[in-house]
Structure 1
Amino acid sequence: MASSFVIACVGKPSAGKSSFLNAVTDASAKVGNFPFTTIEPNQGIAYYAIPCPCATHNLTAQCKPRHGFCRNGQRHVPVRLLDVAGLVPGASEGRGLGNQFLDDLRQAAALIHVVDASGTTDDQGRETRGYDPVEDIRWLRSEIEQWVAGNVERKWGGTVRRHVATGASAVDTLHAQLAGYGTRREIVQRALDAVAGRVGLAIERWDAEALRMFIARFLDLRFPTVVALNKIDMPDADKNIAAIMRRYHGTGGSGSGAVPVLRDGVSEDNIVLTSALAECFLRKMASQKYIAYTPGSDDFQTREDEGEGADGELREMDEKVRRRVENIRDLVLFRYGSTGVQEVVGRAVGVLGYVAVFPVKSVVNFGASSSSSSSSDGGGGAFRDCVLVRSGTTVREFARKLHSQAIDEGYAGAETVGGVQLAEDDVIVAGKNNIIKYSVSG
């Protein structure tokens, strides 16, 4: 059992999107380790890092994830990243690979927008100096709004007539129009609630401005976005970063209808400083045994750092390589705390409101759940499975998600750590009901 959502990675040419994808995906991982039956050519696997319960229960040696991996009590859960093509201004009018770009977005649950914070590439990705990266954030959102609004507006007159004729509710009418964007009815309802005080609920009275206002709130919820401000260690990045943070200061939190207060679809809380090239280089040096480095950490270890009596596992670096890794240490790791790329993945999962759940066969030794264990995968071990689900999912809904026939249809109860019995309508949230054993009849 695996999480099925996809996070789309977008960015103009030369913003660093390819480097970012290389930095967060595991190119050396075997296909058999992926919990997904099919990985499309433009998709990759990144890892969402969370504390693993194996550390709390002193079972790190017995922790054997079926998918992803666990290292020193940190669980790395695989999530899919989609490499979206053709991001240039005019995409909503088919410019570049605009049609493919916008169609790809339908698959995405959230967006990671890789932005060149150095200002050394223009809106087409051409080399320049002094470009304002805020423009990239603005026009990305503008393209998506124009795409959705254009599609809805072309059919709006007929939609309103059918709404009046059939007496359908406003939310059902709007959901029917927006279903092609892979949206849930709950998102449409929240967007409608957020604008109801300004535009009213009678959609037959809406003008073009009211419709656009609703679509903007709908997009805030449908495509939550994390901005990866990339190339932070390049000249001019500092002043651009400061200007961006000033522009989006105070955004985030919730407005009416629990819709975040955003600007250009962006929240201050979801802007992350990154250096994808630094991460790629550190990973390369680690794979070649020049340094010991854990992705997402704030430092690395060299042969010299090992000190006297070291066993010599790390190799000696030449002066050129040494200068480069020390520059990364000084300009990125010590200054910002990390290269930022792992944090971006964590934020992208976080904006979706997903939490990790560990289905187990026993709440004593935390073995694999009977629904997912098989003789072909080797069996054994603790905390074999980890599934990401929306916060607020009920215990019974999760049973259905795990295995509808074996668990849902034969459902006989559920319990968590300490043998605490769970009701069917108990909810799964961060820090509560995150380890579950199901009992089935027959």
Structure 2
Amino acid sequence: MSSSFVVACVGKPSAGKSSFLNAVTDAAAKVGNFPFTTIEPNQGIAYYPLECPCSKHGVSKQCKPRYGWCKNGRRFVPIRLLDVAGLVPGASEGRGLGNRFLDDLRQADVLIHVVDASGTTDDNGREAKGYDPVGDIQWLRSEIEAWVFGNIERRWPGVVRRHKATKSLAVDTLHAQLAGYGTTRDIVQRAMDTVVRLQLIEARDDISQWSTEDLRRFVGVFLDQRFPTIVALNKIDMPDADKNIAAILKRYRRQPNVVLRDGVSEENIVLTSALSECFLRRMVKQRFIEYTTGDDDFKSLDDDPALTELRELDDKARRRLDNIRDLVLFRYGSTGVQEVIVRAVEAVGFVPVYPVKSVVNFGASSTDSSSAAFQDCVLVRPGTTVREFARKMHNQLDVNFAGAETVGNLQLAEDDVIVAGKNNIIKITTTAQ
């Protein structure tokens, strides 16, 4: 049982994307079972941390996730991470691996754009000195925008003719044109609502009156809704990173009642050091330190001689760990990689849902109190109803749906929207039971 949630990791060559992927997809090699039938070579598994209800309901000892794991009431839910081909300027015109890159995006719910904050690679990923990375976010977004806009613009005269003939609603016509980008009608509606709220297009409801610029503005707003973007500002411990970070944060400081600049806002920019995270994890595997991803520090035998299970560090490893501690952990509070995953999931507002057989013991059995509790956690889109969740779980649950209830034996209506902390622990009853 799984979420269909997909995060696409994008960026120019040599920005540190491979290091970032290694840093976030190796969190639990010991947990080898994944809720995905096929993992392609350019895909991996990352883990989204959240508070597990097992602690609140006193069944921590019985909590045995089928996928991922739970430790001290902290649950780690697997999500699919897609490694998209490195992008260079001109990708929308087929330069480099542009066509593959842009086709891969159709699968994604959220983008993580890895940006080299150090200025040591130019826009083509070649080694450079003093390169200004401030424009990297803008040109990547412009390539995606040019791809979508170009595809629609070529068909626009025919679209307008059909729209007039069928007298369709503007949102329905636009959704028909954008469905190929893995979108839903709700996303198109939100984009239209934003256009209306910000008064970006005068003839809002009559797309036959739209100018080329009107269409371009709508596409930009649509992309904000369809591909929320988290920027992993990487290599923060490198020389010159500080001034580049300050310039990027200033450029993307959010303004109220204004369309996002290049689809990015300051709160969705996370400072990261992927190589530091990779090194810390390697030191953990080799039993030199105690460390958990997201922590603001680690412990070695130097820090606590009582940790006799740890090995003694050599001078080279000690110097590197001291640098990571000073330049990354103490300065920024963490390596940032886990925060990127958290922001990616929360950017869409996905809701964790726990399907159970019993709303009393939360187990796989309604009669055996010792059975494994909260075995499954499924991330669903905001606005998902109880009946839609049943359908997502299995078509037979939908066909034979007889009712649903949550904690306290409270009955749920099939059109009740699932809300975290309110009704997201669900027992579904079927006529076949």
TM interval, shorter chain, is over 0.9
Q: Does the CA contact (< 8 Å) of 1:90 and 1:143 recur in 2?
A: yes
AA in 1 matched with 2:303: D
Which TM-score applies when normalising by structure 2? 0.94
Separation in structure 2 between the aligned mates of residue 336 and residue 64 of structure 1, nearest angstrom: 34
Q: Provide the rounded CA distance (Å) in 1 between the counterparts of 2:235 and 2:431.
A: 56
1:397 is matched with which residue? Answer: 388
Partner of residue 421, structure 2: 431
1:199 aligns with 2:190: no
Determine the structure 1 residue equivalent to 2:37. Answer: 37
Kindly state the Cα deviation for residue 193 of structure 1 after the two structures are TM-superposed: 2.7
Q: Which AA in structure 2 matches 1:420? A: L
| 1:330 maps onto 2:326 in alignment | yes
For the 8 Å contact 1:359–1:368, the answer to whether it is kept is no
Q: Which stretch shows the higher mean deviation, 19-28 or 215-224?
A: 19-28
- Report the Cα distance in structure 1 between the residues aligned to 2:155 and 2:365, rounded to whole angstroms: 49
Indicate which of 299, 302, 313 corresponds to 2:297: 299
Helix, strand or coil at the partner of 1:211: helix
- 2:379 is equivalent to residue 381 of structure 1: no
Q: Which amino acid aligns with 1:193?
A: D
Contact 1:391 1:430 in 2 (8 A): no
Aligned partner of 1:225 in structure 2 is: 229
- Residues 306/268 of structure 1: CA separation in 2 closer, same or farther (3 Å cut): same
1:368 shift after superposition: 2.6
The question of whether the paired residues in 2 share the 8 Å contact of 1:359 and 1:369 is answered with: no
Residue 137 (structure 1) aligns with = 137
1:405-420 → structure 2 map (5 Å cutoff)? 405=396, 407-420=397-410
Structure 2 unaligned spans of 5+: none
- CA 1:31–1:311: 2 relative to 1, 3 Å: closer
After superposition, the Cα gap between the structure-2 partners of 1:410 and 1:165, relative to the gap in structure 1 and judged at 3 Å, is closer
| Length, aligned pairs only | 425
Answer whether contact 2:27 2:46 (CA < 8 A) is retained.
Answer: no
- Spell out, residue by residue over 1:336-393, the C-alpha distance to the aligned partner (whole angstroms, 9 max, x if none): 11100001011111111101111111122211378xxxxxxxx941110000011221
Cα deviation for residue 137 of structure 1 reads 0.2
Distance 1:113 1:140 in 2: 9
Amino acid aligned to 1:438: I
Decide which of 291, 309, 312 is 1:313's aligned counterpart: 309
Q: Aligned in 2, Cα 1:318/1:31: closer, same or farther, shift over 3 Å?
A: closer
Shift of 1:280: 0.2
Q: Structure 1: which 5+ residue stretches go unaligned?
A: 371-378
The amino acid that maps onto 2:329 is L
Equivalence map 1:265-284=2 (5 Å): 265-284=263-282
Counterpart mapping for 1:229-268 below 5 A: 229-251=233-255, 255=257, 261-268=259-266
The aligned residue for residue 24 of structure 1 is 24
Do 1:261 and 1:267's aligned partners in 2 also have CA atoms closer than 8 Å? no
The verdict on how the C-alpha distance between 1:128 and 1:386 changes in structure 2, with shifts beyond 3 A counting, is: same
- Report the Cα distance in structure 2 between the residues aligned to 1:287 and 1:32, rounded to whole angstroms: 16
> C-alpha separation between the residues in 1 aligned to 2:139 and 2:91?
10
Query: Contact between 1:110 and 1:225, CA under 8 Å: does it hold in 2?
Result: yes
Query: 1:165 & 1:68 partners in 2: Cα distance?
Result: 52
Report which stretch shifted further, 236-245 or 297-306.
Answer: 297-306
Q: CA deviation at 1:403?
A: 2.0
Deviation at 1:311, TM superposition (A): 5.5
2:335 aligned residue: 339
Assess if the C-alpha contact under 8 Å between 1:46 and 1:80 holds in 2.
Answer: yes
- Structure-2 residue corresponding to 1:54: 54
Task: Give TM-score scaled by structure 1 length.
Answer: 0.92
Shift of 1:186: 1.3
Q: Is 1:349 paired with 2:352? A: no
* Cα shift at 1:28: 6.3
Q: Partner of 2:71 in structure 1?
A: 71
Task: Provide the C-alpha distance between the structure 1 equivalents of 2:53 and 2:27, rounded to a whole number of angstroms.
Answer: 27
CA drift at 1:118: 0.9
Deviation per CA, 1:181-226, whole angstroms, max 9, x where unpaired?
1111111122223224323121111111111011111111111100
The structure-2 alpha-carbon separation of the partners of 1:369 and 1:280, relative to structure 1 and needing over 3 Å to count, comes to: farther
Higher mean C-alpha deviation, range 419-428 or range 79-88? 419-428
Distance in structure 2 (CA, Å) of the matches to 1:368 and 1:232: 46
Q: Give the letter aligned to residue 139 of structure 2.
A: W
2:355 to 337, 353, 359: 359
State the partner residue of 1:117. Answer: 117
Question: 2:221 touches 2:259 (CA, 8 Å); kept in 1?
Answer: no
